[in-house]
Structure 1
Amino acid sequence: MSDTRIDPEETDKPQSVDAFRGRLLTERRLFTNRMLEAGAWVLDNQRIVALETLSVMAHKSKLTPSIFVRLAKAMGFDGFSDMQKLFRAPLHEVYPASLSERISHSQGDEVVHDPADISAVGRSFCRANSASLAHLSGRFGELPLNAAIDRIMAARTVHIIGLDRSFPVAAYLSYALRRADIQTIQITGIGSQASDQVAVMRPDDLLVSISFPPYAQTTLDATSAARAAGHKVIAITDSPVSPITEDAAEVLTVDDAELHGFRSLTAVMSLVQTLAIGLAYRRRDAGDLDLDQINA
């Protein structure tokens, strides 16, 4: 795939982070897959982009420095430094110079002053999770939750896939939907390939795809196969431009705290619980479900 789909000479650079996000999302077909991956990482790690060097970004993202440069130019910037100014502008503080570790989350970083003190690590992680939950709470109004519930209720069968870090999220959502009397199948790949399990989906079936960095390839392949077969997809992920969001019917994004690649499940679990409980209330109001009998 070529890295020259966009002519920077014909592209006005975004004037805000929101404009950057909007262009990446609405014009995603003009960017290469690597550029989209870099763009999603940039949006998910804005403080690092604003305050660190290209080499640090490359190390943390496991992407090459050149892909960030190509992304910047494709966006209309003169180069990476010009793009970096966009992400520096909203910051009113910089990283302290003497931190030992940081737990990253949507509202900044939680400082771990002494990583050898496991109790301190636990308290820091709890504070970071609280920040992630507060961020999610403020975003519920912009997430298409009612539309997602409508699609789940209209589906013949709901198929759910989430592997690796996302496996417990998929398992819980599958359990909760079944308790709400929704015909649900969790795609696990156990006993057969996930693609084989996707292949038995029937018309009017729905796929709920759950994936976060580093996106499980099996989930990506299964989501692509379902989409190619004409099935609707609800994507639960970290970014509007993650690999599972292309042509998705609904996209639910959520940020969770992270320390050295170990990501929390607090916010995403709250999101899927909200989906399941909202659906249960909807079914109760329609006279199809006795909530007092669920005991889930």
Structure 2
Amino acid sequence: MTAPPPSLRDRLARIAATGTPALAQLAAWVLDQSSEVAFSSVRGLAGKAGVNANTVTRLAKELGYDGFDALRADIRKALAQRAPSYAARAQALRSRTNTDIFTEMLDANRANADLLQAPELLETLESCIDPLLGARRVHSVGVRSCYAIAHYFAYVGSMAFANFRESPAQPGAIMDQLSMAGPEDIVMAISFAHYSTEVVRACQIARDCGARVLALTDSHRSPLAVGAWKVVALPMAGPQLLPSLSTAFSVVEMLLSGMAARSPDAVANVTAFEDRITRYGGYIRQG
């Protein structure tokens, strides 16, 4: 889990050791679960921590904040500062020649791809195949740069499997769709530092509805990993403007290919899709 900033961590540790039983319990919980504070309401956090809402507010004030909103803002700021800004990544490119950049990117992509062969990661992906095939619905959520991955997963998945839903493109549509999820659904969520608020919120909604969250993210300390059913920690190294998304696309393609290999209906579904698009002129015929 993501640790709170040092000075806040010290204050939480003091309250955990010397505070009243309710405050001490909550302070100890926050020490291990600070990313939940960053993306929860007072009532939501109280429910997760097993305390009442007044205790959440009292803890914020005991820590020296005017209220919970100020505490939450401080932790959100700390989370954002842990990852280099995109501007800093862009500035770092100024010191390299194009040849250096291209070579470093290709080397990094090869190293990232090698890390995808780690036995633990492959076992995690393997363990997702049958549940994805058996889910009532499969949703995928990503925004900004990660929308392309979510859309690709949903688009290709819907060609071969009847249980895939279209990836929502607007923040309101994310809530509209996931609020109807249930325990038999799986939600694949994709984000990396800086973590998109919309995707973190989508994970919360999915968990509240009882759905299983498959988190594609950059670390087991990511807020997407909190309470997730499965976490795929993506290697994303490289000098480019944003962390590399090549492994995210590879993981999505691995999951889809694994599902197609095991599904009795994938061939017929893909054949029907191709026939429909061809019939209405969606593909250019050659030869």
TM-score tier after normalising by the smaller chain length: 0.5 to 0.7
Alignment of 1:62 with 2:63, yes or no, is: no
- How far apart are the structure 2 equivalents of 1:282 and 1:118? 44
Please state which structure has a larger fraction of its residues in helix. 2
Give the one of 261, 268, 275 matched to 2:248: 268
Alignment correspondent of 1:161? 141
Unpaired segments of 5 or more residues in structure 2?
A: 18-27, 39-76, 275-287
TM-score by length of 1: 0.60
- How far apart are the structure 2 equivalents of 1:236 and 1:277? 17
Secondary structure of 2:128 counterpart: helix
How many matched pairs? 212
CA RMSD of aligned residues (A): 3.9
Query: Is the Cα contact below 8 Å between 2:151 and 2:167 reproduced in 1?
Result: no
Structure 1 runs of 4+ with >6 Å offset: 58-61
Percent of counterpart pairs with the same letter? 23
TM-score by length of 2: 0.61
- How far apart are the structure 1 equivalents of 2:101 and 2:109? 12
Alignment correspondent of 1:209? 189
- How far apart are the structure 2 equivalents of 1:35 and 1:246? 8
Alignment correspondent of 2:202? 222
1:1-296 map, 5 Å: 3=9, 4-6=11-13, 30-33=31-34, 62-63=81-82, 115=96, 117-139=97-119, 143-190=123-170, 192-259=172-239, 261-283=241-263, 287-290=264-267, 293=271
Unpaired segments of 5 or more residues in structure 1?
A: 11-26, 38-57, 65-100, 104-110
Question: Which letter does structure 1 place at the counterpart of 2:100?
Answer: A
Query: Is the Cα contact below 8 Å between 2:142 and 2:199 reproduced in 1?
Result: yes
- How far apart are the structure 2 equivalents of 1:254 and 1:36? 24
Alignment correspondent of 1:82? none
Secondary structure of 2:214 counterpart: strand
Q: CA, structure 1 residues 251+229, in 2 after alignment: closer, same or farther (shift >3 Å)?
A: same
Query: How far did residue 156 of structure 1 move?
Result: 0.8
- How far apart are the structure 1 equivalents of 2:178 and 2:252? 21
Please state which structure has a larger fraction of its residues in strand. 1
State the structure with more CA Rg. Answer: 2
- How far apart are the structure 1 equivalents of 2:79 and 2:136? 42
Secondary structure of 1:263 counterpart: coil
Q: CA, structure 1 residues 186+139, in 2 after alignment: closer, same or farther (shift >3 Å)?
A: farther
- Between 1:159-168 and 1:187-196, the stretch displaced more is 187-196
- How far apart are the structure 2 equivalents of 1:281 and 1:247? 29
- How far apart are the structure 2 equivalents of 1:266 and 1:229? 31
Query: How far did residue 142 of structure 1 move?
Result: 5.2
